Amino acid sequence: MARAIDDRARFGVCGAGATFGRAARAAAVAACALAGAAAVGSANAPAWRITQGDVRIAVPLRPGGAFEAKTSSLAGTLALASSQPAVLTGELKVELATIDTGIDLRNRHLRENYLEVSKGPGFDTAVLSEIRLLEANGEGFEGRSNFAGSLRLHGVSRSVAGSAEIRREAAGVRVVATFPLALTDFGIEPPQYMGVGVANKLIVKVAFTATRDSSR
Amino acid sequence: MNRHALRTFATLALTAAAAVSSAEPIFLSRQYSRCTNCHYSPAGGGLLTPYGRSLSREELSTFGRSPGPTPQGREHEFLFGLLRGRSEPLQLGIDLRPSRLHFDFGELTSTRSLLMNAELTAALRRNGFTFYGQLGRQPRGDDPRVASFEHWLGYESERGLGARVGRFLPAYGVRLADHTSLTRAPLDLDNEDQVYALELSHRSDRHLVQLSAGPGLADALDDAERRAFTASGRFQLDVTPRTVLVASGLWRDDSRLEPARGMTGLALGIAPASRLTVWTEADVRFRGGSPGAHAYAFLGEAAFEVYRGVWLKLTPQLLTEFGNGSAGVVRVAVGADWLVRTHWNVVLSYYDERDRVTDAKTRTLLVQLHLYL
């Protein structure tokens, strides 16, 4: 267990992009479980690194319609710390400056006026950690599971919850997770510009492939 | 000259000269699936909202974009900001389309210049209510007509329930910028063909429902020969922010001159990339007194932004005749829209139309300078 905690600290430091995701974490956890990650609390618990992923955020518009914001800047490493339920150490990160809404002006508004990425640490990335896969039962798990985690966004940490689909692929473990997010929970006023606004509640979809981290 | 050529000529050169300000479904590629983000009218077209004006400058035009997170100056406002916002909350717009039209039907050719659009529009939006009024000039040969072709009062609640009453174009299918498209002209929806009606609507994040009913074409309201109850329905489902499915229907009761008639169909819009939008619409036309004698209309439009603000369009279309699926007309339209800078676009359109029975061809070239001030 001590090793797992050490891993958690280490991965927390080295995680590369912003994490949007509990979902992602959950996925990673699941990946661990799936891949036959070591037994609960094992000192040899394998770590799983995100090798390919993207985050898509469905953003409802007012007075109608929606747009999708996306980024492929998803990175991080996760390790299975315990099972029943599966608990993942490590974190997933997403660099918020890379989010693309499809329109330059909207990108600028999002980054500069609402996410305030220029404020630096705590604002320039979203980090998902403390992921728990509620229905996952350790190694060999494959399928759908609810998950919970802690998301740090806009300088605010709040718990989030959603569902994740985990399956094994040749390249590793594929995870697709979704969860709702309320902007006001993170101190972000829903954007409003010249009569067109964004709804407060967004849906975040995180998809990634994780492979065993050979560097451990 | 056969009837299709006549219709083309009449549509493009004479009666249709008064096109209402166009809608732009091509911007589905920018993830705008609803007209109301940029236009006051729930059916699209007409006066731009402040957001639409800003978007046309910052995102759509080739040279309009300003540096920084917010638009600088007042270039995108009415008359380039000449009023310095003093008209607010009243929003104003002037729409002008000086055009050059060349028409070629075998031995008959015609070239003329015309002012296709000239209109002043105002809108006021407060507490969910929208007052909308337009005054326009409809060129009709040597006898131009000046009138208010669109005026309505609308309301929409926070929960998406809406109502609109007045004179407007009923929502049907996809409203392309080309109002002469073969999925619109057969419905009498192309040339200042607004109806007087009551429209009820409901929108959510993923769907939009619009139902309208009224005494029919506004210009036929005092004409007992042509007046006919008209109802329409349109359902839009935003499958994704880049994929839209639309089901529509429109029905006109019989008048003393015409039997009951209508159209129903499906439209699908897909934007597989940020610079590409593809729309497809297929409609079935029907009329009273001719059971089983349907006609069909099909339209596809692919629009690709080859450079910021420069769109190329390809629009194949087919319209059959009632009871004869082999007759009718095939049209291929190609065009280029250059959204040069805020307030002005250059539109180049070429139509090649062929009668499927006589093989007679009609070719039309239209160049427009679109000023929306």
Chain B residues closer than 8 Å to A70 by CB: none
**Cβ-proximal residues to B224 (8 Å cutoff; 6+ apart), any chain:** B256
Choose the mutation target among B30, B32, B210, B237 for the interface with A, i.e. most A CBs under 10 Å: B32
Q: Which H/E stretch holds residue B283? A: strand B276-287
Q: Quote the tokens at residue B360.
A: 């007679």
- Does the predicted TM-score (pTM) go above 0.90? no
Residue B217 clears pLDDT 50, i.e. is over it: yes
Query: For the ranges A161-170, B196-205, B286-295, which has the lowest average pLDDT?
Result: B286-295
pLDDT of B19: 45
DSSP H helical ranges for B113-231: none
pLDDT in tens, B80-119: 888 887 888 899 999 999 999 999 988 889 999 988 889 9
| Mean pLDDT across B242-271 | 93
pLDDT on residue A28: 45
Amino acid at A151: L
Q: Cα(A145)–Cα(A136) distance, rounded to whole angstroms?
A: 6
Is residue B228 helix, strand or coil?
A: coil
Count of C-beta atoms within a 10 Å radius of residue B171:
28
CA distance A48 to chain B (A): 32
Q: List Cβ neighbours of B344 (8 Å cut-off, separation of 6 or more).
A: B369, B370, B371, B372
Beta carbons of B219 and B148 less than 8 angstroms apart:
no
Q: Residue A29 and residue B318: Cα distance in Å, rounded?
A: 55
User: What does the alpha-carbon distance between residue A32 and residue A36 come to, in Å, rounded to a whole number?
Assistant: 6
pLDDT tens series, chain A, 216 aa? 333 333 333 333 333 333 344 444 444 444 444 333 333 344 566 788 998 999 999 999 888 888 999 999 999 998 888 877 889 899 999 999 999 998 888 898 888 888 999 998 889 999 999 999 988 877 678 899 999 999 999 999 999 999 999 998 887 899 999 999 999 999 998 888 888 889 899 999 999 999 987 765
Contact B205 A103 (CB under 8 A): no
- How far apart are the CA of A142 and the nearest CA of chain B, in angstroms? 28
pLDDT at residue B13 greater than cutoff 70: no
In angstroms, the CA B233 to CA B16 distance is 24
pLDDT at B23 over 50: yes
Helix (H, G, I), strand (E, B) or coil at B175: coil
> Nearest to residue B62, comparing CAs of B370, B314, B336, B344?
B344
CB contacts, 8 Å: A104 with chain B? 58-59, 65
Cβ–Cβ under 8 Å, residues B93 and B355: no
Task: Give the whole-angstrom CA distance, residue B296 versus residue B285.
Answer: 6
Average pLDDT, chain B: 88
Distance CA A72, CA A54 (A): 4
In the prediction, which pLDDT does B4 show?
52
Residue in chain B lying closest to A108 (CA): B69
C-alpha–C-alpha distance, residues B266 and A132, integer Å: 45
The DSSP secondary-structure symbol of B47 reads S
Task: Quote the distance between the C-alpha of residue B307 and its chain's center.
Answer: 24
ipTM above 0.90, yes or no: no
Average pLDDT over residues B11-21: 43
Paired sense of beta strands B276-287 and B261-273, if any: antiparallel
| pLDDT of the residue at B331 | 96
Residue of B28, B36, B76, B246 to mutate, testing the A interface (most A Cβ within 10 Å of its Cβ): B36
Query: What pLDDT score does A34 carry?
Result: 37
Report the distance separating Cα B106 and Cα B359, nearest Å. Answer: 11
What does DSSP assign to residue B345?
A: E
**DSSP β-ladder status, B145-156 and B129-138:** antiparallel
SS3 B152: strand
- Chain mean position to CA B12: 14
- What's the one-letter identity of residue A95? E
Q: What is the pLDDT of residue B170?
A: 93
pLDDT digits (tens, 9 = 90+) for B148-186: 999 999 999 988 999 999 999 999 999 888 888 999 888
Spell out the alpha helix ranges (H) of chain A. 2-14, 22-34, 104-108
The alpha carbons of chain A give a radius of gyration, in whole angstroms, of 17
pLDDT value of position B82: 86
Cβ <8 Å between A65 and B242: no
DSSP alpha helix (H) spans, chain B: 3-9, 50-55
The mean pLDDT of B199-204, rounded to a whole number, is 95
Q: What letter does residue A108 receive in the DSSP assignment?
A: H
Which residues make Cβ contacts (< 8 Å) with residue A57, sequence separation at least 6?
A: A20, A68, A69, A70, A99, A181, A202, A203, A204, A205
Reply yes or no on whether the pLDDT at B58 is more than 50: yes
Q: Which of A57, A59, A67, A113 to mutate to test the interface with B (most CBs of B within 10 A)?
A: A67
Measured in whole angstroms, the distance separating CA B25 from the mean position of its chain's CA atoms is 9
Chain B interface residues facing chain A, Cβ-Cβ under 8 Å? 30-34, 36-37, 49-51, 54-55, 58-59, 65, 68-71, 125, 156, 160, 203-206, 208, 238, 240-242, 274
Instruction: Among A34-43, B12-21, B215-224, name the most confident range.
Output: B215-224
Nearest to A86 by CA among A94, A78, A98: A78
**Integer angstrom CA distances of residue A110 from A44, A52, A103, A114:** 42, 24, 10, 5
DSSP sequence for A2-39: HHHHHHHHHHHHH--SB---HHHHHHHHHHHHHTTPPS
